[in-house]
Structure formats: structure tokens, C-alpha cells
Structure 1
């Protein structure tokens, strides 16, 4: 029998919960969500990353559930994929020419809708955007911020892969742009549990909130 895709063993340390509770009087920063002002941001769920299996495929059902519920409640779903850009001299120096080329092509080619992992259902009202930086919110490297602003979005639920690279970068920049940021703990994937948990610690401590899918579905 084939083993089901794995989910990370994620956690926030009790001392961090205690630290925030003592600071603001509650564990979670954002206790209410207004669906019409909320966007689910799905980062880099494309075959290049998801086809490796494991944690990347394990988060697919949770992302799909969040997308369905948020849409039904009047919210926005945004699919973000890597766009192609020629490797720069610095990227080649850092990664080597072969790996730099590989990552520059990681988002695939063709319409964005066809590049998202095939198990997801994409609706016509969803946003489909490319990014040419690790962050989906980096100025002039992705149109997401402008598109969300046009819809009056002030809250983003960050999901996808790789959690400690593009997802964390997106969460940090979204916070800088004054979004209410929530990293979905069991809808982000990294290579190892400790990589994800380091990201969750950083986001919860400084840039936003961290919650599992079940709690967000209840809030929506």
C-alpha cells in the first residue's frame, strides 16, 4: 500500500506563545478574518517543486480546502508561480551556471493557469501571477501587491513551498507592506521539519501569525 504524503511535525515553542500572550494579552494577533478582505496566497506549487513528493504533496489537500472555503465566503485566491528571467552574473556566481539556469526555468512555460500543480482547481476569478524574485511582494518583481490592493485585500494567508525560502520571503515583505500576515502552518512545505519550524518561529515572533488550516477554516 502506498504511504500517503507526509505533513510536517510543526510547532511553536511554548515560550513564544507565552511571550506574545504577555505582550498583547492573547495568543494570536488576528482573531477575526473578513473573507472579502482576505487572500490565500499559494506560492510556487508547480511541478518542479511538488513532483518531488513528500511534504510538498502533503500540503495539497489543505491548500485546496482553504481555497474552496475562502472563495465561497467571498475571498480571493492567488496562485503565484516562478517567472522566467535570465540568470544574473551574481546568481551564476552564487549558484553556478547549471543550477542558476535550472531555477530560472523552474516555473515552466506556457499560461500560468496550466503551470500550477494539476490537482488544484483554479477558478476564473482567481489571480494568476508570476514572480521573478523569491518574494511574491517584492516591488517590480511581481504584480501581486497591486492586484490585491485593487480588491481591497488587507490580510494574506501564506501557503506553498519552499517554506523557508519563497514563502518566508513573501510573508516578510507582505508584513513590510502592512498586510495582516498569517502563515498557514500545515499548508507550507520545506525539506525538513526543522526548516519549516525555524520559519514559523521567525514569522510568529516578528512578522505575523501562525495557524493551522483547521483554525483558519473555522475563522472563515
Structure 2
């Protein structure tokens, strides 16, 4: 599991502004979605931290299902050959990432220890953020279900997780990023991203905190 922290100066900054450390003091489970981003074998093979966060993602998923919320499994889709990606990443890496989400039904493309259940949302995205306009159907599906709150988990913390959290905040969702249910390249990258997200876009909380916010009575 990544070491993580938010610098005390950032906590103090928000406490001075809004009178409390965390923006959201409760979450209505029936209007909340867990977004599990890019937890597919490609990233498990590259980053062992994915294995470490899997139990927390499962805990959060089960809590949402039991309390009337929704779980959204989001996997990379193939955006097709894109000139900017070939130029920026190089031909070989661009092609590698095109296939990173695997093939076949989304439910069969999740990483080890993860399982979609009846009623879960299954989403492909073709951009870094699952909520970037035109990248997926996620925003429309969340709106159809009257979702106001999103709990963001997955990998990589500093890339697709952060991109999705930023766009969620921009779209007006009450956004929580779960620090011990996300995996980055290393501790330093993880902490730097959490600090930026907490400072400007979303709450950053632990799995145990989020379970308490949902009122489940379950702890990790």
C-alpha cells in the first residue's frame, strides 16, 4: 500500500476557509457512485500496489451495493489510431496503450479479485478522464441515476484517477478520492497528486472514513 499524507498546511488552509478539514461530512448512499478506474490486468502486471488496494475497492463496492448506491467499473477502450498519441508516445507505446483495457465484455476484463455484480455499471472510456466529454457514457448514466456524489478509486493515481476526479468536480459532483484505494507509480507521485486534488478539486479520505460517511457501520 502506498504511504500517503496531506501536508498540514493544506489542512490548515481549508480549515481557515470553510471552518472544517473536509468538505463533505456525509454522503447519501442512494445518490453516490463508486468509480473504479482502470483496474485491469495490464496495470496489475505493471504495478503491485493494485493488488494492495483491491480489498479496499471491494469493501467500498459492497458498501455501496448494500446501501442503494451504484458501482461503476471503468476500463480503457480503444480510441483508435491517433496521430498525437503516436507522435507523443511513439508508435510502439501508443499501440500498447490502445490495447491496455483488453478485449471482450467489460465484466470479464477486471483485474484479479474484482467482480462485477448485477446492477453495476460497466463503462469503457477512450480518454484519460472517464468524464471528459465524448470519452464515455459515464456522465449520462450517472445523471440518469440522480447521482450527486462520486467516490474515485483505481489507477494510476496521477493520470486517469486524477483526470476523472478533476472532471467530476468540474461537472459539479461532490467528489471524494480514496487515498488507500488508488495506486500510482510510487509514493511520491501518489502524495503529490493527492495534495493537488485535496487543495483544489475534491476531498481525499481513507476507505474507513468513506465507509463512515456512507453510514454503513463497516470499517476496513
TM-score (norm 2): 0.96
Deviation at 1:120, TM superposition (A): 1.2
For residue 200 of structure 1, the aligned residue among 194, 205, 210 is 194
The aligned residue for residue 187 of structure 1 is: 181
Q: Tell me which residue corresponds to 1:3.
A: none
Query: Alignment partner of 1:178: what SS?
Result: coil
1:38–1:157 CA contact under 8 A, matched in 2: yes
1:134 matched to which residue of 2? 128
Gap runs ≥5 in structure 2: 215-220
Q: CA deviation at 1:56?
A: 1.3
* Aligned-residue offset at 1:53: 4.5
Corresponding residue of 1:23: 17
Q: Distance in 1 between matches of 2:188 and 2:10?
A: 16
Aligned to 1:39: 33
Q: Does 1:148 align with 2:139?
A: no
Q: Does 1:96 align with 2:76?
A: no
Q: Distance in 2 between matches of 1:202 and 1:26?
A: 18
Number of residue-to-residue matches in the alignment: 214
Three-state SS of the structure 2 residue aligned to 1:59 is: helix
Q: Indicate which of 59, 62, 66 corresponds to 2:56.
A: 62
- Contact 2:165–2:175 (Cα < 8 Å) also in 1: yes
Task: Extract unaligned runs of 5+ from structure 1.
Answer: 1-6
Distance 1:126 1:118 in 2: 17
Q: Indicate the residue corresponding to 1:73 in structure 2.
A: 67
- Backbone CA RMSD of aligned residues: 0.8
Asked whether the 8 Å contact 1:51–1:57 carries over to 2, the reply is: no
CA distance in structure 1 between the aligned counterparts of 2:69 and 2:117, rounded to whole angstroms: 12
| 1: CA distance, partners of 2:97 / 2:36 | 18
CA–CA separation in structure 2 for the residues paired with 1:200 and 1:118: 25
